[in-house]
Amino acid sequence: MSDMLDVRGSWLSDGELEQARERLPLVYVNAVPVRTDALGVVTGVGLLLRAMPDGSISRAIVSGRVLYGERIRDALIRHLEKDLGPMALPRVPVAPAPFTVAEYFPDPSVTGYHDPRQHAVSLCYVVPCDGDCSPSQDALDLTWVDPLEAASTGLQAEMTGGQGRLVRLALAHCGVLD
């Protein structure tokens, strides 16, 4: 595609990113990958298994920064392909609208969404994926679980930073939870 964003010049160095994180909120996207049936009913939720900076293992959803000059839709596709592989075939609408906005803070008591590195504003989406998904980049595994299992106390306890709450909100948005 000739109109795709050239992200090579859009990356911040580690030092620049650290300085930016200290001074202003960063824009992120979160995506809850789902499988749907022919009627659009959610039949599965894709949860990644990630190694965290502190050495722990956590379940997670797709998440990442929006680059300077990058459209939200392009950021979603980039992070979905990075985490789920190039054959995930995500169905991202032409003009995606988030189901919620999450504000992550270094202090977990502010909103319940926690990122010890920064203040981040994340636009959150439910994205159906039709293709073969496989964990890539820094994901250790990808598991497709029943929506009610994804909302269960056990799996919620395996997610950190408030992402379990986002999964529950996504499922409620899709009509799976009351």
CATH number of the domain that 105 lies in? 3.90.79.10
> What is the pLDDT, as a whole number, of residue 178?
74
> What is the pLDDT, as a whole number, of residue 1?
42
With CA atoms as reference, report the closest residue to 108 among 56, 177, 165: 165
Q: How confident is the model at residue 3 (pLDDT cuts 50, 70, 90)?
A: low
How many domains are contained in the chain?
A: 1
Domain span at residue 68? 24-173
With CA atoms as reference, report the closest residue to 120 among 54, 76, 57, 66: 66
- Say if 11 falls within a structural domain: no
- Say if 115 falls within a structural domain: yes
- Say if 41 falls within a structural domain: yes
- Say if 150 falls within a structural domain: yes
> What is the pLDDT, as a whole number, of residue 143?
95
Q: How many CB atoms lie within 10 A of CB 51?
A: 12
> What is the pLDDT, as a whole number, of residue 110?
95
Return the percent helix, strand and coil in the chain, to nearest 5: 25, 30, 45
Residue 2 has pLDDT above 50, yes or no: no
Q: Across residues 118-127, what is the average pLDDT?
A: 96
Which residues fall within 8 angstroms of residue 54, CB to CB, at 6 or more apart?
none
More confident residue, 17 or 69: 69
- Say if 114 falls within a structural domain: yes
